[in-house]
Amino acid sequence: MIDKINRLKEEIEDFDITDAQSLEAFRLEYLSRNGKVQDMFKLMGSVPKDQKAAVGKLMNDVKVLAQERFNREKEKLERAQTKQFGPKDDITIPVEPTYTGSYHPLTIALNEIKQIFLRLGFNIADGPELEDDFHNFTALNFPPDHPARDMQDTFFIRRNDTGSKDDLVLRTHTSPVQIRLMKEKNPPIRSIMPGRVFRNEAVTAKSYFQFNQVEGLYVDRSVTMGELIETLVMFARLMYGSDVKYRVRPSFFPFTEPSIEMDIWWNNENGGQWLEILGAGMVDPNVFDAVGVDSEAYTGFAFGMGVDRIAMLRYGIDDIRLLYDNDIRFLNQFKL
């Protein structure tokens, strides 16, 4: 009996397995219900009682041996097969983390603003961030001694190459793009002009040396103040919801007359407060004169709003510096 078992054991060890077919033959020969291992167990009936335990153990070892050989050969064949299709990466190596991008909160806010004005029939224009005094100030009717030209607000840029007078500035607002547009083309003009602007201000949670504006300009025959206010109210409703509480106050800008500012009511823990969202007004005839638009034939309105404020209110961002640090832990919060 012991001999029989040992012979079976040798047979199992020596069986020639080279491919899927011989593997299957092995399985049928030894592991199937009618295979030699099961047959061997049938012999247990003839084993004397006192030897049953020892023989049973030997038989079981053979069974495990057969199963293990089968598993091993099967795995070997499978591995050989994948190799035929080229080297495979080790799938147990941890993958590099991948970072999916997200829109910057300023981009999200700007896209919303653009969508609203595109619906209202405006197109989109832009201009340079490096401006000259004429476009940033003079053509916009700033008197030569206006405080906004002061060193404290404006970054002046020295023009080394030409040796000409230092009249380059980082634009302090997007209004110079109005000037470029009106010089380039005749009315009607109905455009928004998004862009980055720069002011020489101390960096704090509330102010930064750069921020973003969206300028608006509508010039045609008989554009009215009523149309300006209607457009701004429409914007406020689409941006902040149809129940938005707003107010329009008189204001002053050198390039618009009359000038206004619009506030919206912002609810917060302490009840709420009025927040200025934009400046606007009717284009001053002096501006038309500076760019060669006939101020007798045409009127127009202009507005300028801050994008950073809108994004900060929308997402409860309490420090403007977060918008420019580009910390990935901050940016990842704005997945759409």
Contact footprint for ligand PHE (CB under 6 A): 173, 175, 215, 253, 256, 279-281, 302-304
User: By C-beta, is 23 or 174 nearer to ligand PHE?
Assistant: 174
- Does 201 show up as a binding residue in the annotation? no
Q: Given its phi and psi angles, is residue 22 left (phi above 0), alpha (psi -120 to 50 degrees) or beta?
A: alpha
Q: Kindly give the pairing relationship between strand 256-266 and strand 273-283.
A: antiparallel
User: By C-beta, is 82 or 207 nearer to ligand PHE?
Assistant: 207
Rounded Cα gap, residues 62 and 72, in angstroms: 15
Q: Cβ(234)–Cβ(228) under 8 Å?
A: no
User: By C-beta, is 26 or 178 nearer to ligand PHE?
Assistant: 178
* DSSP string across 207-250: --SEEEEEEEEEEETT--HHHHHHHHHHHHHHHH-TT--EEEEE
* DSSP string across 59-76: HHHHHHHHHHHHHHHHHH
User: By C-beta, is 187 or 279 nearer to ligand PHE?
Assistant: 279
Handedness of CA 248, 250, 254, 255 (dihedral sign): positive
Does an H or E element contain 82, and which? helix 52-83
* Shortest-Cβ-distance residue relative to ligand PHE: 304
The per-residue b/e assignment along 92-119, b for 16 or more CB within 10 angstroms, e otherwise, is eeeeeeeeeeeebbbebbbeebeebbee
User: By C-beta, is 11 or 257 nearer to ligand PHE?
Assistant: 257
Q: Cβ(29)–Cβ(35) under 8 Å?
A: yes
User: By C-beta, is 136 or 323 nearer to ligand PHE?
Assistant: 136
User: By C-beta, is 23 or 287 nearer to ligand PHE?
Assistant: 287
Q: Kindly give the pairing relationship between strand 123-124 and strand 189-198.
A: parallel
The least CB distance from residue 321 to ligand PHE, in Å, is: 20
* DSSP string across 11-45: HHHH----SHHHHHHHIIIIISTTSHHHHHHHGGG
The least CB distance from residue 215 to ligand PHE, in Å, is: 6
Identify which of 216, 269, 264 has the alpha carbon closest to the alpha carbon of residue 242.
264
The least CB distance from residue 302 to ligand PHE, in Å, is: 4
Q: Cβ(324)–Cβ(306) under 8 Å?
A: no
Rounded Cα gap, residues 295 and 291, in angstroms: 10
The least CB distance from residue 90 to ligand PHE, in Å, is: 58
The least CB distance from residue 285 to ligand PHE, in Å, is: 15
The least CB distance from residue 267 to ligand PHE, in Å, is: 25
The least CB distance from residue 89 to ligand PHE, in Å, is: 55
Neighbours of 67 (CB within 10 A): 15
User: By C-beta, is 187 or 304 nearer to ligand PHE?
Assistant: 304
The least CB distance from residue 91 to ligand PHE, in Å, is: 57
Neighbours of 244 (CB within 10 A): 15
Numbered residues of the known binding site: 257
Numbered residues of the known binding site for Mg(2+): 257
